[in-house]
Structure 1
Amino acid sequence: MRALTWHGKHDVRMDTVPDPKIVNPRDAIIKITSTAICGSDLHLYDSMIPSMERGDILGHEFMGEVVETGPGSTLQKGQRVVVPFVIACGKCFHCEKQQFSGCENSNPAETQDLGEIAYGTAMTGLFGYSHMTGGYAGGQAEYVRVPYSDVGPIVIPDGLEDDKVLFLSDILPTGWMAAENCQIEPGDTVAVWGCGPVGLFAVQSALIQGAHKVIAIDHHPHRLELARSMGAQVINYHDVKVREALMAMTGGIGPDACIDAVGMESHGFSIDNVVDAVKVATRIGTDRAHVLREVLMACRTGGRVSIPGVYGGMGDKIPIGALMEKGLQIRTGQTHVHKYLRPLLDLIGEGVIDTTFLISHRLPLESAPDGYKMFKENQNEVTKVVLKPDWQKEAA
């Protein structure tokens, strides 16, 4: 089959690789109908995530048609399914608490050491996202093996085209959980740093969950306009000092809840971010934590901080004093996708949630390397790239 493979920093290639096979009884093989390039994929593209190996198949946002199942799968051939990017067994301590991104069984023992060293515990298995997360082949390919297929994938009813449901695989539940972690109360103002795909879905989700006001912060005009079109007020951080602007917009109190949807690769020319960039470039540091610092300083006393943005290693100069003295609550983590699939699918079916506004480009799978380069270099116009395998054109 054809698949997108990683070969180093800014080097991804379409290669011919072996077709996936059933390995365990609960496996299924999915024929990909749609897959997408995620902002988190750019961390791999930029070689920010350790334990990638040449030839690894990328992609963790995908859906498709079931073509083969193991005896323990509950799926049936011909069903259309969306697959969560988190791989979860459904039966361990964390899965039973619906903390699916903490699954204890989906990361093979031989790949757990790096996660334990970096984070104190092994990471859960993820599709297409390094050997620290299990080394699983991703879905930017024609076919993919899905472990624990009796737990993860959700069957899509007829009448809902791929574009409406593809983002159930990751970014829609991630934005929803980011807003849920804010514990939004009537009258709340929620500030969202970053109007990338997750940030925009966090804006949308916060408004649906009852926020009185949402303030979106970015510097890309098109992305800010998308946030504005959903009902958010916007701040271009090139034009103002963010904390001062937020204070003015909240009567001098600060936002009730803040969402860091940027993570480890924040942009801008603030002194702390320039220092972070130098440290990353020289391998002295790993994460550019400017946005997290700004969030902690801007959030009101007694407020809530939600961090869906990906951080991979160490950050310094974190204002821990502000965190403690202001009595802030912080909730973070990879998304418990499985928990949100059914309710979000229902909201899509009812027309409450629209996801198609985010798609800016549709490309054939063979053009995936161009899609990565375009997404990396032009994040104003490129909000989401959806890839379609060539077999779909042949079928049409």
Structure 2
Amino acid sequence: MRALTWQGTAKVSVETVPDPKIQEPTDAIVRMTSTAICGSDLHLYNVLGMYIDKGDVLGHEPMGIVEEVGAEVTHIRPGDRVVIPFNISCGHCWMCTRGYFAQCETTQVTDQHKGASLFGFTKLYGQVPGGQAEYLRVPQAQFGPIKVPDGHPDERYLFLSDVLTTSWQAAKFADIAPGSTVAVTGLGPIGQMSARIARHLGAERVIAVDSVPERLAMARRNGIEVIDDGAVDDVPAAILDMTAGRGADSVIEAVGMEAHGSPWQGAAVKAAGLLPDPLARKATETMGIDRMAALRTAFAGVRRAGTVSIIGVYGGNADPFPMMDLFDKGVTLRMGQAHVKRWVDDIMPLLTGDDDPLGVDDLVTHRMPLEDAPRGYEIFEKKQDGCIKVVLKP
């Protein structure tokens, strides 16, 4: 089959690789019909190559048609249309029975001290081949795949794999109360959907921060107030000014290690990526190499006794943290990988009707054949051609 493979820092290519096969009775094989490029894929593309091997298949936002199932897979069958959560969870361990699917004890990568395995996401998370391919082997398919109905294009359901469920968790973790004000840092796909979901969950005002014109325009047409951080000198001050000096009740930090505005940490990220893999891994695990600008904006923009929900991905273990300010303000922090299947029942009714209350149909900007995936990565990473979300069609 054809699959998108990592070949080096900022270098991916579509190659012919072996077709996946059933290996366990809990496996399924799914023929991909749509698979998206995620902002987290850019971390692999640019930063975390020390944890990837040349030829690894990327991608963790897939959906398609079931081709084959193992003997213990009974809730789906060949011909079913399914979305595959990005985290691989069993559904029956201690963590899963409590809804913590991103911490599944069956698939935890214990040798790396990490949570549940993820599709297409480095040795840290199991080095499981990803879904930017023609076919995908799905472990723990007795639980993971989400069966979806016909009647809408793939893009209505595809983002249950990550974007919608991740954004829903980000908003739920933000402790949104009716009539509250929520700020969102970053208007990539997660920020866009987090902002819309915050409004859906009762926020009176949602203020989002970005500098890319196309992202700002998309947010505005979905009813979100925006701050262009390229046009203001002090974003937290702007948030305070818009909230009578108090700050936002909740802030959703949806940027992560890709944040701009941290030149020294940006240089550290690039330097770590140029080291030999063993040294690069050591630097990442013991030094503060994340770009912290978006986090600092979140911490400064939230009101006293407010909540910051961190959904952007970070990688460094020793990043500087303003603990005195957070303690003094009494800020609640919540964060973590999305527990995808925990939120599906809440979201699914919003997708199946003819209306589109979350504006899911207004997210994808580029659709490309799988063979054009390297170009998709390039324009997404460089924010070219108005690119906000790329969906590949294997």
TM-score range, shorter chain: over 0.9
**2:306 alignment counterpart:** 303
Give 1:381's match in structure 2, choosing from 378, 386, 389: 386
Indicate how the Cα distance of structure 1 residues 183 and 49 shifts in structure 2: closer, same or farther if over 3 A, else same.
farther
Give 1:196's match in structure 2, choosing from 182, 188, 203: 188
Q: How many angstroms apart in 2 are the aligned matches of 1:242 and 1:209?
A: 25
C-alpha displacement of 1:286: 2.2
Give 5+ residue unaligned stretches, structure 2: 273-286
Given that residues 3 and 141 in structure 1 are in contact (C-alpha distance below 8 angstroms), is that contact kept between their aligned partners in structure 2? yes
RMSD: 1.3
Give 1:278's match in structure 2, choosing from 267, 273, 276: 267
Q: How many angstroms apart in 2 are the aligned matches of 1:218 and 1:288?
A: 15
Indicate how the Cα distance of structure 1 residues 337 and 49 shifts in structure 2: closer, same or farther if over 3 A, else same.
farther
Q: How many angstroms apart in 2 are the aligned matches of 1:226 and 1:47?
A: 28
SS at match of 1:301: strand
Give 5+ residue unaligned stretches, structure 1: 117-121, 390-396
Given that residues 47 and 270 in structure 2 are in contact (C-alpha distance below 8 angstroms), is that contact kept between their aligned partners in structure 1? no
Q: Aligned AA for 1:179?
A: A
Q: Aligned AA for 2:269?
A: V
**1:325 alignment counterpart:** 328
**2:80 alignment counterpart:** 79
Trace 1:1-396 onto structure 2 (pairs within 5 A): 1-48=1-48, 50-74=50-74, 75-107=76-108, 112-113=110-111, 115-116=112-113, 122-240=114-232, 241-268=234-261, 273-283=262-272, 285-350=288-353, 351=355, 352-378=357-383, 381-389=386-394
Q: How big is each residue's C-alpha offset from its partner over 1:174-208, in whole Å with a ceiling of 9 and x where there is no partner? A: 11111111111122100000000000000010000
SS at match of 1:151: coil
Given that residues 8 and 54 in structure 2 are in contact (C-alpha distance below 8 angstroms), is that contact kept between their aligned partners in structure 1? yes
C-alpha displacement of 1:380: 6.9
Indicate how the Cα distance of structure 1 residues 354 and 238 shifts in structure 2: closer, same or farther if over 3 A, else same.
closer
Q: How big is each residue's C-alpha offset from its partner over 1:69-91, in whole Å with a ceiling of 9 and x where there is no partner? A: 00001211100000100100111
TM-score (norm 2): 0.93
Q: How many angstroms apart in 2 are the aligned matches of 1:300 and 1:66?
A: 48
Given that residues 222 and 359 in structure 2 are in contact (C-alpha distance below 8 angstroms), is that contact kept between their aligned partners in structure 1? no
Q: How big is each residue's C-alpha offset from its partner over 1:296-327, in whole Å with a ceiling of 9 and x where there is no partner? A: 12210000000000011235332111110111
Given that residues 63 and 81 in structure 2 are in contact (C-alpha distance below 8 angstroms), is that contact kept between their aligned partners in structure 1? yes
Given that residues 379 and 387 in structure 2 are in contact (C-alpha distance below 8 angstroms), is that contact kept between their aligned partners in structure 1? yes
Indicate how the Cα distance of structure 1 residues 50 and 96 shifts in structure 2: closer, same or farther if over 3 A, else same.
farther
Q: Aligned AA for 1:27?
A: D
Q: How many angstroms apart in 1 are the aligned matches of 2:28 and 2:190?
A: 28
Moved more, 208-217 or 277-286: 277-286
% same residue: 47
Q: Aligned AA for 2:264?
A: V
Given that residues 47 and 269 in structure 2 are in contact (C-alpha distance below 8 angstroms), is that contact kept between their aligned partners in structure 1? no
Aligned length: 376
**1:393 alignment counterpart:** none
Q: Aligned AA for 1:253?
A: R
C-alpha displacement of 1:248: 0.8
Given that residues 123 and 132 in structure 1 are in contact (C-alpha distance below 8 angstroms), is that contact kept between their aligned partners in structure 2? no
Q: How many angstroms apart in 1 are the aligned matches of 2:267 and 2:374?
A: 27
Q: How many angstroms apart in 2 are the aligned matches of 1:43 and 1:278?
A: 15
Q: How many angstroms apart in 1 are the aligned matches of 2:221 and 2:20?
A: 42
Q: Aligned AA for 1:36?
A: A
Indicate how the Cα distance of structure 1 residues 342 and 50 shifts in structure 2: closer, same or farther if over 3 A, else same.
farther
SS at match of 1:135: coil
SS at match of 1:356: coil
